[in-house]
Amino acid sequence: MSRLKTLIALSSVVVLSACVVAPYPRGGYAAGEYGPPVAVADVPPPAPYAEVIPVMPFPGAIWLNGYWGWNAGRHVWIGGSWAAPRPGYVYNPHRWIAVQGRWHLMPGGWARPVR
C-alpha cells in the first residue's frame, strides 16, 4: 500500500508541475481595454463564423463566442467554448479595433463590471 501511495504522489507531482498560475493582466476595464493589443494587422478581420453551439456540458455553463485571432501573418478562427460563470464578473470578448488604419486585437477576459 505504501508503494501505491508513493506512486500516486509522484504522479501528482509530474502532472501538476506543468501547471502555471499567472496573474491576470491589469488594465483599464473602465477604459475598455485589458492591456496592449495581442496582435496588430494591416487587414480587417473577416466576418465572424456562425458557430454551431454544442450541447451545454453542465447546468449554468455560458457560451463564449469564438473570434478571429492572428497567427503567422493571417487571421485564424479561434472557436468558442463553454465556461463556468464567475459570480461578480462579466466576460468581455476579444475584439478588433481600428487604430490609425491598422487593426488591433484587444484581449478579452473576465472583469468586474464598472459601476
Q: Report pLDDT digits (tens) over 73-87.
A: 999 999 999 999 999
Task: Write down the pLDDT at residue 36.
Answer: 80
Sequence-ordered list of residues with C-beta below 8 angstroms from that of 34, at least 6 positions apart, any chain: 25, 27, 28, 92, 106, 107, 108, 109, 111
Domain residue ranges of the chain, discontinuous segments joined by +: 35-115
Q: Calculate the CA 105 to chain-centre distance.
A: 13
Which residue ranges of the chain lie beneath pLDDT 70?
1-35
- Determine the straight-line distance between the first and last CA of the chain, rounded to whole angstroms: 56
Q: Cα 5 to the chain's mean position, in Å?
A: 36
CB 96 within 8 A of CB 48: no
